[in-house]
Amino acid sequence: MLVSCKQTKEKTYHIGHVITPVGELYFWLYEETPLHKASFVKLANMQYWDDLSFNRVIENFVIQAGCPDTPEGFGASDFLIDPEFVPEIKHVYGAVGMGRDDNPGKLSAGCQFYIVHDVEIPRLDQNYTIFGQVFKGLDVLDVIANLSTDANDTPLERLPIVVRALQLNEKEIRALGGSKLFESMIQ
C-alpha cells in the first residue's frame, strides 16, 4: 500500500508593504495589471525605494513616492511600462497607481507610485494605471496626506520609506484586516 506524502502548497498572493516613520501601509496587487505588478515586485525586491521618500503630498488628491519629478520627464527611464487600464479599477480612496509624465503613449514610470487620498478622481481613470488597493493603513495615508508641505508639495520633514513585496496566504491577509478586500479580489 502506497501513501502519498505529497503536500499541497498553500496559495499565496503578492501584497505591497510600505513602512514609514508614521506607520505601515499594506495593499493588494491586482492580477489584472501584470506588468505593473511585476515591476513593483521586482523593484521592491531590489530595495529600489529604500533610500527614497514620499516626495509629493497633496491632501485630498495623492501621496507620491519614488522618483522625483524632473523637467526632462521619464523618457530615459529604465522602468517605463505600457499602460494597463482596466475600466473596473478606479481612482478611489486608497488606490495605488504608477506615476507618469506627459508622454503620448501614457507609459507609466514604474519607479514612481502614488496612493489616492480622495473619494475618487475620475479624470485620472484610463489615464494612469492603478495596480493596487490599500487594505490596511488608511489611517497612515491620512496622516501622510496631512503633512505640512512647501510650495512644491514636498513634505517639510522628509518621510523615508521602506518598500517590500510580501507573499501572504489568505489567513495572513485576513489577519491584517484584509477580509473584505480579499473576498472581492478572489471572485
pLDDT of residue 90: 97
E strand residue ranges, the chain:
12-20, 23-29, 54-58, 62-66, 80-81, 95-98, 108-109, 112-116, 130-136, 162-169
Residue boundaries of the structural domains of the chain: 12-172
Q: What is the pLDDT along the chain (187 residues), one digit of tens a residue?
A: 555 555 668 899 999 999 999 999 999 999 999 999 999 999 999 999 998 999 999 999 999 998 654 455 445 567 789 999 999 999 999 999 999 888 899 999 888 999 999 999 999 999 999 999 999 999 999 999 999 999 999 999 999 999 999 999 999 999 998 888 767 766 5
Give the three cell numbers for residue 24: 505601515
What confidence tens digit (pLDDT) does each residue in 32-67 have? 999 999 999 999 999 999 989 999 999 999 999 986
Per-residue b/e over 14-28, b at no fewer than 16 CB within 10 Å?
bbbbbbbeeeebbbb
Instruction: For domain 12-172, say whether CATH 2.40.100.10 is its number.
Output: yes
- Using CA atoms of 34, 39, 41, 46 in order, give the dihedral in degrees to the nearest 10: 160
The gap from C-alpha 143 to its chain's centroid, in whole angstroms, comes to: 17
pLDDT, position 102: 85
**Percent over 70 (pLDDT), the chain:** 87
Q: Tell me, what amino acid is at 61?
A: F
Provide the 8-state DSSP code for 68. P
Q: Which residues pair with 24 in a beta bridge?
A: 19
Grid-cell match 478606479, residue found: 90
What is the model's pLDDT at position 131?
98
Which amino acid, 142?
Answer: D
169 contacts 176 by C-beta, under 8 angstroms: no
Q: What is the pTM of this model?
A: 0.90
- Grid coordinates of 4: 502519498
d(CA 69, CA 77): 12
